[in-house]
Amino acid sequence: MYKSYFYLKRATYELNDLLKEVTLKSSFSQEKDKIVFEFCSENIETFIEVSVNANSPFISLKPDYHRAKKNSVSIFKGIIPQKLLSVKIALKDRIIRFEFTDYSIYFLIRGKFTNLYLIKSDGIIDSFKAVKNFAQTEIANELLSPNYSNGLSFSIEKEFDPNNHELVKTDFPYLDKGIIYENKLRQQNSRDNNFVLSSCINEVLNSEILVSVSSGSKEVGFKPITYHNTSLKESKSFSSYFEAFAFHQKKVYQFRAFNEVHKKLSSYFESELNYLSNKLNELSSRVEKGSRDSEFSKIANLLLLSIDKIRKGNKEIILEDIYSQGEDFLIKLREDFSAQENVNHYYNKARSEKINFEKSKELLSQTKKRFEILLAKKELFLQSETLEELRIIMNELKINPSKMQNTKDDLSQSFKKYIIEEKYEFYVGKDSRSNDQLTMKFAKPNDYWFHARSLPGSHCLLKVHNTKEPIPKSVLKKAASLAAYHSKAKTAGVVPVSYTFKKYVTKKKGMEVGQVILLKEEVLLVKPEIPSGVEFISSDN
């Protein structure tokens, strides 16, 4: 619902209040479907991120944004710098207009045509995603035609009939499913359709926003706090659209992480329980048959008593079984063995059988216990609703995540690990050898590398899984504080910490373990600590 017309109208209203007397300083892209606008004034610096992804278009506000020195491209260069005059939204359509002194930028949300367009009075000058020439005039006319507003007022001009679905589609295309569903729930107690619909719309525009997770649901809700809600497992309300959206995206990320680990754990339980089940059947069958050590001992004794009758090359021999009323007994022989070697062979088989049988019984008991533990943990797993609960199960079962991931990151278990702001992975070397492994084997070229400057300490690494997604400065500072904390200056007040991309960290032949050379670096002055928003995950060694 966050991308519905009325919530975008609310976002536009908030932007007008937040972006007063600002100038567009830069606009750039580091990802295929996203563009960032940097606005500044005497007092503030604000970043607006816009996604033109057809499946998940959005506009978000960021107080801080770290632009990569590489892998970023300037967009709409011709309008910079430009003073922002207003931010408005089209009447009853998802088109947001950023009006500058000489140009306007339009954010059009329209399925596969979702895009950003830079327009002057004579037509499209530029667009973020390429547009075919023959479509430019048509799109320009569509963007310039509507009336635009930056207020929260809205009036319903036609009679609303919730039961006439075709009419709803044609006359009220700006209504999203959330409003229509809420309206349907309320219509049961009212005959004034337009009044009920107006109430639903005004609450989207003015009420606090509830970001919630319903019990048993895997989706994050985003709707007015006044709307009907089912049983909620978790919820938080916001007066600001952008604060609500930021929290919503955070929860969506957590759900994705949860689902990823949940899927891998599910596969682990299925595989492990299947393996243990087969092992139990095999061991149970083995134990039920009993040990044959007495049988092999009897054969060895019979051969020893008749050793003079055995010749090398014999494949078998029939002897009188003195242990069973003198019946004939057929014994298999090793034709390449001498008589004594055949006797010793069966004595050895008796000893091995006895030992293996005892081991089988012990292994059967251990396997039963492991199977029962896994069954119990699987029940807990099926009831788990948070990522932390899944991690606890993994730790209790001593599951190595690298075995589940099937990635090149198997070395990750050799280092201390933290999670920064519930998203960013941070690794710390434990000694000189571990430092070398972290830097020279585990790290990738675009990972961030940290170390307390000119001080003994651990090599530290901030993983960058998406090189097009910038790492916020706040995360870099927290990473630097962790690096300072894992150095000899742990108790100091302020510590200089060097950081750079791993590709600028090298090692010459003959250098001592843990020593490296930095080809390029930047320095942050930070307090050595484990900052807020940082969670320690594991240290297996």
pLDDT in tens, 361-408: 999 999 999 999 999 999 999 988 788 899 899 888 887 665 555 444
**C-alpha 51, offset from chain centre:** 19
Domain range holding 179?
Answer: 165-251
The pairing of beta strand 115-120 with beta strand 123-127: antiparallel
**Do 184 and 204 belong together in one domain?**
yes
Q: How many domains does the chain have?
A: 4
Domain for residue 303, yes or no? yes
**Do 9 and 133 belong together in one domain?**
yes
**Which residue carries 């434990």 as its tokens?**
430
**Do 336 and 442 belong together in one domain?**
no
Can the peptide bond before residue 401 be classed as cis, meaning omega within 30 degrees of 0? no
Residue 479 contacts residue 448 (beta carbons within 8 Å):
yes
Domain for residue 154, yes or no? no
Last residue of a domain, one of 226, 251, 276: 251
b/e map 180-202, b = 16+ CB within 10 Å: eebbeebbeeeeebeebbbebbb
Sites in the chain below the pLDDT cut of 70: 121-122, 133-134, 188-191, 216-218, 400-411, 538-541
Last residue of a domain, one of 399, 420, 449: 399
**Do 312 and 211 belong together in one domain?**
no
Residue 17 contacts residue 239 (beta carbons within 8 Å):
no
**Do 89 and 214 belong together in one domain?**
no
Domain for residue 529, yes or no? yes
Can the peptide bond before residue 146 be classed as cis, meaning omega within 30 degrees of 0? no
pTM for the predicted model, two decimal places: 0.60
**Do 441 and 523 belong together in one domain?**
yes
Domain for residue 214, yes or no? yes
**Do 18 and 108 belong together in one domain?**
yes
**Do 145 and 204 belong together in one domain?**
no
**Do 130 and 184 belong together in one domain?**
no
**Which residue carries 């003195």 as its tokens?**
322
Please give the helix or strand (H or E) that residue 245 lies within, else none.
helix 241-289
**Do 17 and 142 belong together in one domain?**
yes
Domain for residue 110, yes or no? yes
Residue 55 contacts residue 28 (beta carbons within 8 Å):
no
Domain for residue 160, yes or no? no
Q: Which two tokens stand for residue 217?
A: 């649901």
The residue type of 407 is: T
Domain for residue 158, yes or no? no
Domain for residue 114, yes or no? yes
The pLDDT of residue 300 is 92
**Do 388 and 512 belong together in one domain?**
no
Q: Which two tokens stand for residue 531?
A: 């900052």
Instruction: Give which of 247, 171, 203 is closest to 10, Cα–Cα.
Output: 203
The pLDDT of residue 217 is 66
**Do 133 and 264 belong together in one domain?**
no
| Integer CA distances (angstroms), 103 to 25, 81, 106, 145, 490, in order | 15, 11, 10, 16, 53
Last residue of a domain, one of 364, 380, 399: 399
Residue 505 burial (C-beta neighbours within 10 Å; 0-12, 13-18, 19+): buried
Using CA atoms in the order 115, 119, 123, 125, what is the torsion angle rounded to 10 degrees?
-80
**Which residue carries 């507003």 as its tokens?**
149
Residue 459 contacts residue 416 (beta carbons within 8 Å):
no
Q: Which two tokens stand for residue 164?
A: 């006439």
What distance in Å separates the CA atoms of residue 465 and residue 467, rounded to the nearest whole number?
Answer: 6
